[in-house]
């Protein structure tokens, strides 16, 4: 069951980078033919050599216990959408114990949908049908314990990652090469997204009245999306330039996250967007994590100085450049740039990473609250005053 929102997204944490070339093996059995233009709902693997199938759903509880969820496949029928795409309407039910191995039993619905690159040949006239993998837990999600941590393991044959985006708390993604394909692990806990009922209202997030926007619903979310790197011209979600150097991975509770951009040679930023207020009227607080290969940045932005800077700083700013109060970290680990930001507010802030030579330490004050900043330029957030030494 595909989410009603259409996302142009990316999302991150522990990700293994690897060659996009996978050796074929006569022992591997691919269950989804990329040449057949049908969105398939993946079933469980029945043998160790099966590909394009689900291996398991692991549930880790806050008390340290864990269990594999039991599953039941609900077979559906093939339906034809308005865009000419055939869809498998089947799905999975998973049962496990909530909060602990001794907790009450709970059953959720979900699915793993795989859209092959051949679908683009049907839908390119109307601009849809981009090949993608979507892994969702959706039915009865409102009763899922926020502290239960899920890991869905699956195997694919032809799928090649262009980007990964995750909508889960503590989200992680990892992959390893296996015979004939790849094995994926997607992890995380339930989060919430504040959404509009009318898709047209998302344009207001970038307008002059963005700070008055209020969501129609605060919806529980737990899903992962992987866009496929297609060999078909214009058949991928994003520009395929530099894809041989890896891909971006992000995680957030936003409604929209764009590809990273650079405003100058040393400054990279992501724009994230969601309604300013939640449906209950409280301020919509966001989080954002990203992992970006340095080689990808160097290829995409050939004249950048960010990847070679002795220090990097991170900030969250409003669209007019005013800094926000947020908890942030940025680092270069191995061959990737890691970005973490929590506690900022929507509607359309920028997550800004800048390469600098030195950082200045200063304190800002608002009422009885004080916060220490380390940035290249001294600038307090709106409503905060600089504490003079």
* Cα-based distances in Å from 347 to 10, 156, 201: 18, 36, 12
The answer on pLDDT for 140 being more than 80 is yes
Is the predicted pLDDT of residue 357 greater than 90, yes or no? Answer: no
Say if strands 91-97 and 70-74 run parallel, antiparallel, or are unpaired. Answer: antiparallel
**What's the rounded Cα separation, in Å, for the pair 387 and 336?**
35
Least confident of 39-43, 97-101, 128-132, 154-158: 128-132
* Nearest-angstrom CA–CA distance, 144 and 95: 11
Contact 181, 28 (CB under 8 A): yes
The owner of tokens 């009227």 is: 281
Mean pLDDT of all residues in the chain? 88
DSSP 69: P
Rounded mean pLDDT, 1-30: 45
Which pLDDT value is given to residue 316? Answer: 95
| DSSP characters over 246-304 | --EEEEES-SEEPPPEEEETTEEEEEEE--SB-TTSSB-EEEEEEEEEHHHHHHHSTT-
Pairing assessment for the beta strands 261-264 and 267-273 based on DSSP bridges: antiparallel
Checking if the pLDDT of 12 tops 60, the result is no
Q: Is 80 exposed, middle or buried (0-12, 13-18, 19+ CB in 10 A)?
A: exposed
pLDDT band (50, 70, 90) for residue 348: very high
CA separation for the pair 78, 335 (Å, rounded): 44
pLDDT at 287: 97
- State pLDDT tens for residues 250-279: 999 998 887 899 999 999 999 999 999 999
What proportion of the chain, given as a percentage, has pLDDT over 90? 67
For the stretch 23-52, pLDDT in tens is: 444 468 899 999 988 889 999 999 999 999
* pLDDT confidence bin for 87, thresholds 50/70/90: confident
What is the C-alpha to C-alpha distance for residues 343 and 101, in angstroms, rounded to an integer? 32
Torsion of CA 283, 6, 30, 83, to 10 degrees: 160
Residue 384 phi/psi, 5° resolution? -110, 150
pLDDT at 319: 82
DSSP 8-state code for residue 123: H
pLDDT at site 20: 40
265 and 307 in contact (C-beta within 8 Å)? no
C-alpha 338, offset from chain centre:
14
Contacts of 318 (CB under 8 A, 6+ apart): 324, 349, 350, 382
Does the pLDDT of residue 14 top 60, yes or no?
no
Find the range with the poorest average confidence among 126-130, 145-149, 338-342.
Answer: 126-130
> How much is the average pLDDT of 3-25?
39
Q: Which of 229, 227, 205, 230 is nearest to 215 (CA)?
A: 205
**pLDDT exceeds cutoff 70 at 13:** no
> How far is the C-alpha of 255 from the C-alpha of 121, rounded, in Å?
28
DSSP 44: B
């Amino acid at each position: 069951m595909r989410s009603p929102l259409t996302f142009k997204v990316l999302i991150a944490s522990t990700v293994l980078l690897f060659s996009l070339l996978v050796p074929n093996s006569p022992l591997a059995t691919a269950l989804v033919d990329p040449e057949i233009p049908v969105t398939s709902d993946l079933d469980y693997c029945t043998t160790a050599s099966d590909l394009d199938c689900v291996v398991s759903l692991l549930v880790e509880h806050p008390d340290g216990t864990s269990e594999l969820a039991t599953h039941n496949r609900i077979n559906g029928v093939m339906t034809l959408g308005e865009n000419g795409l055939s869809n498998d309407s089947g799905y999975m039910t998973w049962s496990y114990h909530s909060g602990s191995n001794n907790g009450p039993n709970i059953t959720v619905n979900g699915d793993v949908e795989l859209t092959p690159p051949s679908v683009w040949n049907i839908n390119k006239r109307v601009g849809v049908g981009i090949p993608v993998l979507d892994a969702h837990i959706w039915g009865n999600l409102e009763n899922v314990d926020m502290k239960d941590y899920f890991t869905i393991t699956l195997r694919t044959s032809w799928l090649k990652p262009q980007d990964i985006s995750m909508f889960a708390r503590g989200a992680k993604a990892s992959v390893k090469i296996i015979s004939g394909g790849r094995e994926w692990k997607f992890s995380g806990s339930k989060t919430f997204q504040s959404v509009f009922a009318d898709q047209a209202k998302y344009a207001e997030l970038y307008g002059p009245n963005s700070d008055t926007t209020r969501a129609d619903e605060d919806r529980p979310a737990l899903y992962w999306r992987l866009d496929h790197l297609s060999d078909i011209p214009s058949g991928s979600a994003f520009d395929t330039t530099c894809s041989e150097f890896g891909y971006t991975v992000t995680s957030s509770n936003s409604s929209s996250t764009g590809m990273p951009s650079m405003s100058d040679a040393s400054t990279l930023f992501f724009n994230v967007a969601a309604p300013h207020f939640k449906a209950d009227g409280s301020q919509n607080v966001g989080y954002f994590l990203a992992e970006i290969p340095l080689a990808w940045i160097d290829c995409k932005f050939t004249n950048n100085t960010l990847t070679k800077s002795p220090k990097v700083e991170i900030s969250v700013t409003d669209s007019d450049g005013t800094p926000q109060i947020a908890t942030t970290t940025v680092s270069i680990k191995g061959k990737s740039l890691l970005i973490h930001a929590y506690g900022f507010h929507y509607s359309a802030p920028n997550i800004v990473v800048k390469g600098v030579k030195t950082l200045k330490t200063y304190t800002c004050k608002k009422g009885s609250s004080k916060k220490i900043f380390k940035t290249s330029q001294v600038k307090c957030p709106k409503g905060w005053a600089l504490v003079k030494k």
